[in-house]
Structure 1
Amino acid sequence: MGAGGLIGWNAVARAMPDGYTLLTTEMSFTIAPGLLPELPFDGYKDFAHIITVAAAPNVLVVTPHLPVKTVQEFIALAKAKPGAMYYGSGGNGTNTHLGAELFNSAAGIELVHVPYKGAGQVLTDLMAGQVQALVTSLSTVLPHIRSGKLRALVVASESRSPLLPDVPSAKDANLPGFHMNFWVGFAAPAGTPQSVVKTLNQTIAAAVNTPNGRHRFAELGLTPVTDTPEQATEKVESEIKRWSHVVKSAGVKPD
């Protein structure tokens, strides 16, 4: 999450609650409260959460230079070479950082963190074998998996992804706790009338579920997942609590 994102979130939190100022939310929105306790807004109380529009599981990918074909082989290799296996991230406290720490915890290993100043260089170095692993959204790396430049070992969800049916889920791989979806939603300032929130929910859901909308999300590696304002609110609250716990447990500090 960058300074621009924080400024935008704060601006929406303080905007007129008339339904004309909306915020695009995603996973980093629920990570920020645990990582940055001095935020000038409350991610739960200062927003009226409208809807979740799309989601995609995160996935563990490795460089094809590694002599592993399965996640079990990767874990065994990491245990055999403690301190010699590295994962890249887009920086301290980012989705990619916390996702890999979640995998470390689930797998009982300690991949070493290499923070970058953005995701682009991570992918370049991963494909070249400079770092060995990355946990990121499937939509980010799907083209590289399909081209053979990266190898997908496990999807961070209860079930397999229809986009990668041959890659095991965390449940298949016996990695309890390694569940992490990238998602996109919309929110308005707190105090927005419920009638307005309901209308926005219905209008956005209708647009998402058109053939064109579903096709566009599929091109991006995302699955349309529309829900109610109540469900969206519950998800955000639950995710804030979850990521606050992960940040604390892993000792993650922002840059």
Structure 2
Amino acid sequence: MRPSSLSTVFPAAEAATLTRRHALGALAAAGVLGGLPRLARAQGERAVRFILPVAAGSGVDTIMRASSQALGQALGQTVVLDNQPGAGGVVGTQALVKSPPDGLTLSVVSNNHVIYPSVLKSVPFDPVGDITPIAVMGSTPMVLVVNPKLPVKNLREFVALLHASPGRYNFASSGNGTILHLAAELFKDTTGSYSTHIPYRGFGPMMQDIVGGQVDWGVGALPAVQGQVKAGNLRALCVASPQRVAAAPEIPTAVEQGYPGFVVDGWFAVVGPKGLPPEQVRRVHQAFVTAFATPEVKEAMARQGNLINISTPEAAGAYFRSELQRYAALVKKAGVVPQ
């Protein structure tokens, strides 16, 4: 999980690409492709790169790796996942906005995308104006986890521990002002507790140090932490959802443990660079609808606990704007100082 960039190709072999080209040529000669859009035929021979502005193993990364093969089939193209974490997601997103709007470079972003303006003194792009919204895909539950050596079994015991020793315990996040940081700040505000914030450069290093005991607790997306929880390397004290999650029914909610204010989830959305043509937006949107409706992807999303509800491009744009305002208020309430 340490590398700053990780790419996965489906399929990777050049021979497969050559075979596909020969097959397309044969079909074209037979007139089979005559009814297909010319754009799709031209695109089909080139890979689509999805820049993920997160580290390998994080929520968005886990979701995309589970759906990439079906997505490639729906697009009729090779799909490449390119992890470019850093600065809470700014590094990867900056690479996206500098890309040509040709449908060959896209991205899947999370809540962090609309948090930037509130937590950074300077952002090298406009998170709304410099992208083309394609769809908000859905949401993923957040889980509060602790190192299992902490002498707590539930949320009430944990809050009591924090109250008994203010400042003794610390929490990790994937970066200052990220959704994982703000979720933890919301927990502190809801419970009236205090812990020292230790920001990391990405989810992987953060989670590694909670498991190792260098940091006491943190908040992570369910798909990204459930493996460590099942292995006993982390203890999950609650999900920050209104109701228990079918993928992890054994984890109680904060609400049922007496803390109704700790409700937050992570959403994920597919976007392109500014100026992506409408026909490309429609093509990519339909590919996601098709891929996420396949039995294998539906099963993977259910297993991870993700709730899929694919929006229209227009609704995605409106959602980005409303979330900008919501997180600006949360950042102000949490007292996060822009850096």
Q: Does the TM-score normalized on the shorter chain lie above 0.5?
A: yes
Any idea what SS the aligned residue of 2:254 has?
A: coil
Any idea what SS the aligned residue of 2:245 has?
A: coil
Q: Report how many aligned residue pairs link the two structures.
A: 255
Q: Which residue of 1 aligns with 2:269?
A: 185
Counterpart residue type for residue 35 of structure 1: V
| Aligned equivalent of 1:108, options 181, 186, 192 | 192
Instruction: Work out the CA distance in 2 between the residues paired with 1:23 and 1:115.
Output: 24
Q: Which residue of 2 aligns with 1:134?
A: 218
Tell me: CA distance 1:33–1:213, structure 2 relative to 1, closer, same or farther (3 Å): same
Answering whether residue 126 of structure 2 is matched by residue 42 of structure 1, we say yes
Q: Which residue of 1 aligns with 2:117?
A: 33
Answering whether residue 313 of structure 2 is matched by residue 229 of structure 1, we say yes
Any idea what SS the aligned residue of 1:69 has?
A: coil
- The percentage of counterpart residues that share the same residue type is 39
Instruction: Work out the CA distance in 1 between the residues paired with 2:263 and 2:327.
Output: 12
Instruction: Work out the CA distance in 2 between the residues paired with 1:103 and 1:130.
Output: 20
Tell me: CA distance 1:15–1:127, structure 2 relative to 1, closer, same or farther (3 Å): closer
Any idea what SS the aligned residue of 1:22 has?
A: strand
Any unmatched runs of 5+ in structure 2? 1-84
Tell me: CA distance 1:64–1:101, structure 2 relative to 1, closer, same or farther (3 Å): same
Counterpart residue type for residue 264 of structure 2: M
Q: TM-score, normalised by structure 2?
A: 0.66
Instruction: Work out the CA distance in 2 between the residues paired with 1:217 and 1:131.
Output: 29
Map 1:18-97 → 2, pairs under 5 A: 19-97=103-181
How many angstroms does 1:126 deviate by?
2.2
How many angstroms does 1:103 deviate by?
0.9
Any idea what SS the aligned residue of 2:186 has?
A: helix
Instruction: Work out the CA distance in 2 between the residues paired with 1:89 and 1:7.
Output: 17
Any unmatched runs of 5+ in structure 1? none
Counterpart residue type for residue 129 of structure 2: K
Instruction: Work out the CA distance in 2 between the residues paired with 1:225 and 1:74.
Output: 34
Any idea what SS the aligned residue of 2:108 has?
A: strand
How many angstroms does 1:15 deviate by?
5.0
Instruction: Work out the CA distance in 2 between the residues paired with 1:233 and 1:166.
Output: 36
How many angstroms does 1:116 deviate by?
3.3
Tell me: CA distance 1:61–1:70, structure 2 relative to 1, closer, same or farther (3 Å): same
How many angstroms does 1:221 deviate by?
5.4
Q: Which residue of 2 aligns with 1:212?
A: 296
Answering whether residue 222 of structure 2 is matched by residue 146 of structure 1, we say no
Residue deviations 1:131-181, cap 9 Å, x none? Answer: 221111111110111122211111112221112112222332343442332
Tell me: CA distance 1:119–1:190, structure 2 relative to 1, closer, same or farther (3 Å): closer
How many angstroms does 1:186 deviate by?
0.9
Residue deviations 1:182-222, cap 9 Å, x none? Answer: 23221123444545433432221111111122234456554
Instruction: Work out the CA distance in 1 between the residues paired with 2:187 and 2:88.
Output: 29
**CA RMSD in angstroms, aligned pairs only:** 2.7
Residue deviations 1:29-73, cap 9 Å, x none? Answer: 122121225323221233221112343111101121122211111
Greater C-alpha radius of gyration? 2
Tell me, yes or no, if the aligned pair for 2:88 and 2:175 is still in contact at 8 Å: no
